[in-house]
Structure 1
Amino acid sequence: MRSTAGTTNALMLAGALLAGCAGGGQLRDKEKGSEMNLQEAASRADEILDATFDAIKPEVRWTHGETTVGSCDVTRRRAVMTAISEARRGSFLGVIERFWRQSGYEIKSVNSSRKFPAVYAQSGDGFGISLSIGGGGQAFFEVDSPCVEESDVAQPTTPANGPDYSGGPIPRPDVHDDFWSSLGGLSAGGGRTA
């Protein structure tokens, strides 16, 4: 009996795992019976990015990165063309982390490296959101959708507010901002930076 129960539990677990891989994990509104498709997921990712960039004060210049489509998911990317100085990186990530928390996103992980910090979050509807600082103080944003229904995916409709490098290589940040590119002075909260 014990082995039969164990086998049954193992089969139920395996079935649940397979269902998740085969679309059981797809984003859907069970009340309405509707499912989000790749284009709708890409539009939702764009909304998340638009709202995030609206929260950054002073504004930074950015360009679209590559959109990638997997077997059932889509990723939208943006690269910040404003150089974020090492002295400002903590403030920059703090602004984003606070905004994401206020938006109801769960902060999954924070890398507090001084040179290459990052923050990873997840929205209530299953979108993975990340901000990482790379070489030259360049900030990269990425939004990954959960598994959704297949469809065509159009390019983002929000125009970049800096030079548009979409479809080609993105250079290192080349925009100086008196606040974000500053090597010291006042922090975003008005206090002195270390």
Structure 2
Amino acid sequence: MILLAGCSEVRGGNMDMQDAAERADGMLDSVLAEVAPRVLWVHGPTTAGNCTVTRRRTVMTVVSAQRRGSFLGVVERFWRKSGYRVTAVNSHVDAPAIYVKTQDGFQVSLTVADKGQVHFTVDSPCVRRSEVADSTSRATAFLDPEARLIPRPNIHSDFWSADAPGVAPAGS
């Protein structure tokens, strides 16, 4: 086994950084597919360290303060059902967050930021160094290719953007 600078061990077994990025994409695709009614999202930046890779997705659908609890509940239930271990929960009214860890060492988080913008992040464990290609998952919201920053959420959902508390309709 080759140890990489900055890592005490390679945790991903035979996995390299591209494999880890693809695994992260699969985790992000799965959780976003679980949210109903559907939200629209864009890719955040991919970053690579000495032996880790981070994939990000930013939800462009406005999730109102009144619906954030429902949104977080859908995600947390899915992650628990998927065998992820909840490592921390931030119950802050304006900026709640959930942090989980997979059995193979990936750290996954959902954070809510300004204007109800939801961010998903997956950090890989230390894996073999390799090049990392852009994600092949297709974003569901438009982002100007020239944009330097991801704008605040700007897509209205009759459900997720509503100003009244509610439970997501079954089968949406």
TM-score by length of 2: 0.91
| Change in 2 beyond 3 A, CA 1:189/1:60 | closer
Question: Which SS does the other structure have where 2:30 is aligned?
Answer: helix
> How far is the alpha carbon of 1:114 from its aligned partner?
1.1
In structure 2, the gaps of 5 or more residues are none
Q: Structure 2: which amino acid aligns with 1:116? A: A
Does 1:26 find its partner at 2:11?
yes
Question: Which of 123, 127, 139 is the aligned partner of 2:118?
Answer: 139
Question: Which of 105, 112, 120 is the aligned partner of 2:91?
Answer: 112
Which residues of 2 match residues 6-155 of structure 1 at below 5 A? Answer: 22-28=7-13, 35-155=14-134
Question: Which of 151, 170, 174 is the aligned partner of 2:150?
Answer: 170
Determine the C-alpha separation between the residues in 2 that align with 1:37 and 1:184: 45
Determine the C-alpha separation between the residues in 2 that align with 1:20 and 1:100: 31
Query: 1:181 maps to which residue?
Result: 161
% identical equivalent positions: 47
In structure 1, the gaps of 5 or more residues are 1-17, 29-34
Larger helix percent:
1
Deviations 1:157-182 (A, max 9, x none): 01100113567310000000000000
Determine the C-alpha separation between the residues in 2 that align with 1:47 and 1:125: 14
Q: Structure 2: which amino acid aligns with 1:115? A: D
Large movers: runs of 4+ above 4 Å:
18-23
CA RMSD of aligned residues (A): 2.0
Determine the C-alpha separation between the residues in 1 that align with 2:45 and 2:77: 26
Question: Which SS does the other structure have where 1:75 is aligned?
Answer: strand
TM-score by length of 1: 0.81
| Change in 2 beyond 3 A, CA 1:59/1:19 | closer
Question: Which SS does the other structure have where 1:43 is aligned?
Answer: helix
Determine the C-alpha separation between the residues in 1 that align with 2:100 and 2:5: 21
Q: Which has the higher contact order (CA 8 A, sep 6+)?
A: 2
